[in-house]
Chain A
Amino acid sequence: MKEAAALLAKEKGSAFVLAGGTDLLVRLRTGFIEPDLLVDIKRIAATRSIQVTPGGFRIGAAVTGAELGEHAKLKKAWPGVVESANLIGSKQVQGRCTMVGNLCNASPAADSVPALVAAGAKVVIVGPKGKRTVPVEQVPVAPGRTSLKKGEIIESILLPKRLSRSGDAYLRFIPRTEMDIAVVGVAASVTLDAKGVCIDARVALGAVAPTVLLVPDAAKALIGTRMDDKALDALAAACSAACRPIDDKRGTREFRIKVAGVLARRAAQIARKRAGGR
């Protein structure tokens, strides 16, 4: 990994990391990028595995969507994260695409990113100055741009250990059933106490701002409640209020704001159910 980072750091021209390539090769083929150097990180062992660690899960940067979906333990602990990654593209794309690629492509509409943010995931970055670990929400800074510095590579994603009575979910709106880009995406992660009161929550929105948004007010609307209608109304209002969407042919500003609230409510209900709540 260090060698790969050193190659990227040393290159004077344009240099890119290649993992699944489902975004990079499209940009390469269309002439959008003309790399002087491509570093394929898939053959580095650390990028290829999903490990269960004392702290939770460590998912290598080149682990594919299909592999995430086949990992029973991960799916059980973080079903929302896995379902968000598995929504990306077709079976063909699933065989190659990675969550780290989805994150580094820095599209505001990336499906797996809201789910990772809601999960409180972090990324391990290897670079010329060593390793650093940062929360996922700090990686994208603008459409197509990340906070990674020259020579830095994301090596893995860290998902926290799942507490009991916890659940997460991701929902997106697209005009068809498959093979599309989110018009709005919402991820929710909740933890309940023995009485069914929400004691922790994180809610994140996609495709409604230049980057994926973590919405603390949405979490506040849930924490301390039984996630009843009143709390869900407050959640929906907080999500809609946080939206700063564009207006385009895929969805108007008004529509995205409204749908963010609707999907937040539904995602929270699924997360609650997965947490064992009624």
Chain B
Amino acid sequence: MSAIHVTTKINGDVVDYVCEADETLLDVLRNRLGLTGAKEGCSTGDCGACSVTIDGRLTCSCLVLGVEAEGCEIDTIEGMADGEALHPLQRKFLEHAALQCGICTPGILVAAKALLDTNPEPTETEVRFGLAGNLCRCTGYDKIVRAVMDAAQEMRRA
């Protein structure tokens, strides 16, 4: 398979890249564009560590080919903070110590943001179901859920 030119928008910026036809979007982000926030965990769509949104829709970037992103708008963890100012979710994760090794954290933040974008007032059950596609082997999830609930509350007040 030969290299293909792709034009896309990542975190608001127009980005051009060339990739192989069978290369995943995750590999493109990490290896070609230096956006290493999305992590490779399982590479089968089970762990959610590679979560990004494509045209606003939460997806595993390991299950998307780089060439499929042509003309799409992609948002990654790198675009979450506003310069030096962390997103409320990011701040609350720090406050609640909702991470240990940190490998799952970018994916969980992206998934949590996607959840709060569509449901600003989720119940704890909705948070747990909303994050069911993100595995964390350190925290036992409770701190993550509390951080997301707390961030949601703060964002509603803002």
Contacts and interface: CB of A to CB of B under 8 A. Distances in A.
Interface of A: 18, 20-22, 25-26, 28-30, 35, 38, 40, 42, 64, 66, 89-93, 95-96, 178-179
B59 A96 contact: yes
B104 interface: no
B3 interface: no
Contacts of A18: 65, 68
B58 A92 contact: yes
Interface in B13-71: 21-22, 24, 43-46, 48, 51, 54, 57-60, 62-65, 67-68
A25 B133 contact: no
Given A25-B63, A91-B111, A66 B45 contact: no
Contacts of B46: 90, 179
Contact of A90 (B48, B57, B67): B48
Contacts, number: 77
Interface of B is mostly: mixed
B54 to A, nearest CB: 8
Contact of B64 (A21, A30, A38, A64): A21
B65 A92 contact: no
A105 B139 CA distance: 35
B59 A95 contact: yes
Contacts of A40: 65, 67-68
A18 B44 CA distance: 16
Contact of B115 (A42, A91, A96): A91
B58 to A, nearest CB: 5
B129 A92 contact: no
20 contacts: A20-B63, A21-B63, A21-B65, A22-B63, A25-B63, A26-B43, A26-B45, A30-B44, A40-B65, A64-B57, A90-B46, A90-B132, A90-B133, A90-B134, A92-B59, A92-B63, A92-B111, A95-B59, A96-B59, A179-B133
A66 B133 contact: no
A196 B151 CA distance: 49
Interface string B96-123: 0000000000000001001100000000
Contacts of B24: 25, 29
B58 A95 contact: yes
A91 B132 contact: yes
Interface string B64-91: 1101100000000000000000000000
Interface of B: 21-22, 24, 43-46, 48, 51, 54, 57-60, 62-65, 67-68, 111, 114-115, 129-130, 132-134
Contacts of B67: 40
Nearest to B27: A29
Contacts of B129: 178
A29 B60 CA distance: 14
Nearest to B61: A92
A25 B114 contact: no
A93 B60 CA distance: 7
Contacts of A42: 68
A258 to B, nearest CB: 28
A96 to B, nearest CB: 5
A96 B133 contact: no
B36 to A, nearest CB: 19
Nearest to A40: B68
Nearest to A36: B1
Closest 8 CB pairs of A and B: A90-B133, A95-B57, A178-B132, A92-B133, A92-B60, A95-B59, A26-B44, A25-B63
